[in-house]
């Protein structure tokens, strides 16, 4: 099954169609396995759908985020990047080489609950990127 086939029922249940644009962008996000900038999504999705415009990519990414099919993230460069919304997780990213690893949300769930309790806020986003130096860069190899 393709990614868009996996997510089409969710869109249909909310009264939306799986358009060719949504299909192409979901396909790119699913296949990438990493965060992509809107420009990267556009470049890759345009290979499948040559009539796609960059403006449509931005609008579609926002639509997918609003419908919890994609997740935006700030990865330290001031720009949003996107990934498919499979499960809640966080990242550790090396400031030197750019390597990153996923951190399961369960490791931080207690901290999230403490933040909500102490602040009175209800957290609506659950993506955090921690920056540091990976083991390789710490050794200076």
| pTM for this predicted structure | 0.71
What pLDDT is stored for residue 75 in this prediction?
A: 66
Query: DSSP states of the chain as a string?
Result: --HHHHHHHHHHHTT----HHHHHHHHHHHHH-S-B-HHHHHHHHTTT-TT--HHHHHHHHHHHHHTTSEEEEE-SSSSEEEEE-SS-EEEEEETTT--EEEEEGGGTHHHHHHHHHHH---------EEEE--HHHHHT-
Tell me what percent of the residues of the chain surpass a pLDDT of 90.
40
| 50-59 pLDDT per residue, tens | 999 999 999 9
Domains and CATH numbers, the chain: 3-84 (1.10.10.10), 89-139 (3.30.1490.190)
Query: Does pLDDT of 44 surpass 90?
Result: yes
């Amino acid at each position: 099954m393709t990614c868009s086939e996996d997510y089409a029922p969710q869109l249909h249940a909310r009264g939306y169609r799986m358009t060719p644009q949504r299909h192409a962008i979901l396909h790119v996000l699913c296949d990438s396995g990493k965060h992509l900038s809107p420009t990267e999504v556009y470049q890759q999705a345009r290979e499948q759908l040559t009539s796609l415009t960059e403006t449509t990519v931005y609008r579609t990414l926002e639509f997918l985020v609003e419908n919890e099919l994609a997740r935006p993230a700030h990865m330290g460069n001031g720009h949003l990047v996107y990934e498919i919304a499979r499960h809640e997780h966080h990242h550790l990213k090396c400031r030197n080489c750019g390597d990153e690893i996923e951190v399961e949300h369960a490791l931080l769930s207690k901290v999230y609950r403490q933040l909500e309790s102490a602040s009175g806020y209800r957290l609506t986003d659950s993506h955090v990127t921690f920056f540091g130096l990976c083991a390789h860069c710490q050794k200076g190899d």
